[in-house]
Each structure stands twice: as C-alpha cells, then as structure tokens.
Structure 1
Amino acid sequence: MFVTKPPERAEDTDPPDDDSLLSLRSAMIIFGSLVVAIIVGVLTFAAAGSLPVAALAGGGAFPGTMTFLHKQISRRS
C-alpha cells in the first residue's frame, strides 16, 4: 500500500507589492458584513419600529457575518 503525503500549502512569504492597508479578501469580508448588518437593521426597524432594537440587531449580525465569510472565502484560489 502506497501512502502519499498531502500537498503542502504554499505560504506567501513575500510582502505585497502595493502599499494597501487591507487585502482584497479582507475588504470584501468587511464590506459584505457591513451590507448584511445594514439589511438586518433596516428589516428589524421595519418590523419592530424601534431604532435601538434595530441597531442591536444590525450590530449583532456584523460579527456573525464576518466569522461566516472568513470561514467560507478561501485565502488562495
């Protein structure tokens, strides 16, 4: 029986060529989380009619969406 090792992940040891503050992946995760949080806040305000409740719902959706997108969007293609 032959046992093969899984391919090793190539780690990016070189710094990025540009002087960007965030990578495209990080920017898209934050933007997507912000969009979801705004949608949740607007829908909650429409349903409940309370601005503090809508702000809490949108604020709670933001970190949950960030965690979900962080796990779903791969680092390498």
Structure 2
Amino acid sequence: MISAALRIDHHQSPKPAPIDVFLARCEARAHLVSHGLHSLQDSVDTLQAAAVAQGLVAKFGQDRIQWILAEAFARWRLSDDG
C-alpha cells in the first residue's frame, strides 16, 4: 500500500515557467492600463521590480525583459488606436 504522501495526483497541472507567468502578468497589466485602470509608469515599474526579484533579469537579461514589456504594452496601445 502506498502512503497518501507518496501518491501522485495525475490531475495536477505542471507548474508554469516563471518567464511564462511574467509574460501573462505583462499582458494582463497592459490590458488594465489600456482601459485606464492602472497607470503605465506604475505598471512597468512594478513588473520590472518583479522581474528583478524573481531572478528573471539575471537569468534572461535586461534586454529580454524590456522586450517582453515593450511587446505587451505596444500590442494594447496599437489595438486601442483603431
């Protein structure tokens, strides 16, 4: 008999990669900014600080993080311009 602590829950999804979570956070925050619910500067500053705190800047580099931010926010800005 296998103890409950050793059983594997096959219904549990794998943990997403931190960079994927960051991408999703950028998209969500850009959506909020595009609807006037958050300020652009506060959102970018918060996301940048999170990328540093989570080690994403150290792992992927500042250029990659900045590119992710720029892409997310530019996409929403372009879609709002018509």
> Normalised by the size of structure 2, how large is the TM-score?
0.34
Q: Which has the higher helix share?
A: 2
Q: Which has the higher contact order (CA 8 A, sep 6+)?
A: 2
